[in-house]
Amino acid sequence: MFAILKQRNYGLLFSGRIVTNIGDSIYFIAAMWLVYDLSGSAFYSGLAGFLTQIPNVLQFLIGPLVDRWPIRATLLWTQALQALLILIIPLAAWLDFLSVTLVLVIMPILTSIDAFAYPTETKALPLVLKKEELPAGNALFSFAYQGVDLIFNAIAGVMIAFFGVTLLFIIDSLTFCLAFLLFSFLRIPHQKAQTKTSGTARTALNSYFTELKEGLKILFTTILSAALMGAVLCNLAIGAAMAVMPAFADERQGPAVYGLYLAAMSCGALVGALLAASFSKLPIGKATILTMFLASAIWAAAVFAPWTWLSVVLFGLAWVPVGCINVTFATMLQTLLPVSLIGRVTSASASFSTIAMPLGSLAGGYAATLIPVAWVFCAAGIGLALLSVTWLLYPKLRKLGPLASLSTEMIGLKDYSQQETS
């Protein structure tokens, strides 16, 4: 698995991904806690989660752009803009005009910019790796994502407790500068043009909407639509959980514990990513149903565990199946779809699968003003089982076999797998 890190382009993508994730981890914890600290309300934490997730809901609109734009240039400008915008928060604190409103405005802007980076990296993988190397490449990317979160979620929580948030935002800006430097050395192999178009705005716009419709058609006319429904219901629960987590952690021991819960979440997903290769050899349908039911029960138990350390451990275990399923699903798309369609399909999938998260954040934040936060957090955990219920009720999902046995015909992608672009 680790041998592919010696490949120059993949090594740069992997390193840039790690550094970018460091910045994302620091920013997310610092911003969410800052909103809660400035407002003292779980509702505002929910509102912050809502605003942060809205750009992800609209991510399907950027899919055709990701498929068209140069990979290296897209990665560079996303890192540069994030580095500059993040500095506004410590500057506002220094000039004494920092407010909840300012943070709530900046958060969705940063998320909107970041929404271009991840589909671009996903699109790049099949161009720098061989088909048989993709499972390992995806697993390592997920490892980088979850591993960085594991370390820096915990560190950021402790740093907030001891040093405050201003320093974290300055460090955060520096991480995006370093990612910019790493991505600047990328040399992506030549990509065939997506389509031949004239330079007119009308032609470009028509081509954009044609490609957008094609990505949506693939998503909603194949087995992916049923899988998407399960993800939407599951993410509704996760959105509620993320909104009330600062308040839930505060009831235990404060910001340091908040970081530990996020670190446990990342640790569980990291372990799941590492187990994804083994998971993909099982009948995916049955394995998904059983493991997500189990994850739901473990999460609920974590809420009422008498000791904080036990609660954190159980919460982390609940995220192991999530890590397995995410990596397996990403590998399936990259294996069965041509490179020319990956950007629009993955961005559309990410967009619609997260459509419930901002609504869940608002609902969770509001519910926490009516009932105890612990009950909201518990209900969110039980909500993970909604994904299992969806797969259980849909025969084609329930009967999915091991990843290696899947074909384009089985999941309705036959026509697209043979598509050629010029």
**3-class DSSP state of 186:** coil
The CA-CA-CA angle for residues 279, 282, 284, to 5°, reads 85
pLDDT digits (tens, 9 = 90+) for 312-337: 999 999 999 988 888 787 777 777 67
CATH architecture of 2-187+202-417: Up-down Bundle (1.20)
What is the phi-psi region of residue 164: left when phi exceeds 0, alpha when psi lies from -120 to 50, beta otherwise? left
Q: What is residue 272's predicted lDDT score, i.e. its pLDDT?
A: 86
Report DSSP state, residue 190.
Answer: P
Q: What is residue 294's predicted lDDT score, i.e. its pLDDT?
A: 93
Residues 282-289, mean pLDDT to the nearest whole number: 87
Residues 231-252, mean pLDDT to the nearest whole number: 84
**CA 69 to CA 41: how far, in whole Å?**
41
Cβ 127 vs Cβ 188: under 8 Å: yes
pTM, entire model: 0.64
Query: b/e for 397-422, b at 16 or more Cβ within 10 A?
Result: bbebeebeebebebbebeebeeeeee
For the chain, the C-alpha Rg in angstroms (whole number) is 21
* Two structure tokens written together for 58: 């609209």
Q: What is residue 422's predicted lDDT score, i.e. its pLDDT?
A: 39
| DSSP letter string, 291-303 | HHHHHHHHHHHHH
Which residues fall within 8 angstroms of residue 316, CB to CB, at 6 or more apart?
Answer: 263, 264, 265, 267, 268
* Two structure tokens written together for 406: 């899947």
**CA 177 to CA 136: how far, in whole Å?**
28
Cβ 387 vs Cβ 236: under 8 Å: no
**3-class DSSP state of 321:** helix
Residues 37-64, mean pLDDT to the nearest whole number: 75
Give me the helices (H) in 129-165, please.
Answer: 134-163
Pick the most confident of 20-34, 208-222, 290-304, 331-345.
Answer: 290-304
Q: What is residue 91's predicted lDDT score, i.e. its pLDDT?
A: 92
Q: What is residue 205's predicted lDDT score, i.e. its pLDDT?
A: 58
Asked if the model's pLDDT at residue 152 lies above 80, the reply is no
Asked if the model's pLDDT at residue 178 lies above 90, the reply is yes
**3-class DSSP state of 166:** helix
pLDDT digits (tens, 9 = 90+) for 332-363: 777 767 666 666 676 677 767 777 777 888 88
